[in-house]
Structures are given as C-alpha cells and as structure tokens.
Amino acid sequence: MDAEGDDKDRKETRIMAAALIFLIILLTATIVLLAPILSEIISQNLSPGINLKDSAIISFFVTVAVMVLFALVSGDGLVGEIQFVLGSFFVFYLTIWLSIAWIF
C-alpha cells in the first residue's frame, strides 16, 4: 500500500508544481505587459505639481517631527518606544510622501 500511496503523492505533487509554475509564468507575463501602462498612469498622476524628489524631502522632515512628537508624548519616552517609532516611521514616511506628491 505504501507504494501506491507514494505514487499518488508524487502525482499530486507534480500537478501542484506544474500549477504553481504556470501561475508564476502568468503573473510574470502580466507584470511585464502592464508595466508600461502602470508607469504611464503613475507619471501622469504624480508629475504635475510637486515632484517626487521634493515631496520626499518635505515628507522626511514632517515624519521626523511627528515621530519625535509621538515619542515624547508617549508614556515611556523616546527610548522605550523606539521599536514602534522605527517601524511606524517608514509607514508614515511613505504615506506622507505619496500624499504630498499626489495632492500638491
């Protein structure tokens, strides 16, 4: 019985591997075909107004100020909350950066 179960497992594994390879190829082809369209949409929506470079500089200083304020107002101070400040810094930075570039 073990030989039959082994053959069945190998067949199922091959089918799953083939399906995964097919999905990876499909995903890669989709990304390659959509990249020019997505880059055009992004450049049209983000280029008028403040460009990404200027908004990155502005958002860095805004994010640092907000993170220092949050750390000082929190209960443990700057040292006790540093792991949360570092993790949230990147989320705030990305959000503020793209919001400034998009809105202004």
pLDDT in tens, the chain (104 residues): 567 778 888 999 999 999 999 999 999 999 899 888 888 877 777 666 777 888 888 899 998 888 888 777 776 665 666 777 788 888 888 888 888 887 77
Measure Cα distances from 76 to 26, 30, 92 in Å. 49, 48, 21
**Taking the chain, what is the end-to-end CA distance rounded to the nearest angstrom?**
69
Q: Report the pLDDT value the prediction gives residue 4, as an integer from 0 to 100.
A: 77
Q: Report the pLDDT value the prediction gives residue 21, as an integer from 0 to 100.
A: 94
Q: Report the pLDDT value the prediction gives residue 2, as an integer from 0 to 100.
A: 67
User: Any residues with CB less than 8 A from the CB of 89 and at least 6 apart, and which?
Assistant: 63, 67
Q: Report the pLDDT value the prediction gives residue 37, as an integer from 0 to 100.
A: 85
* Domain ranges for the chain: 1-48, 49-104
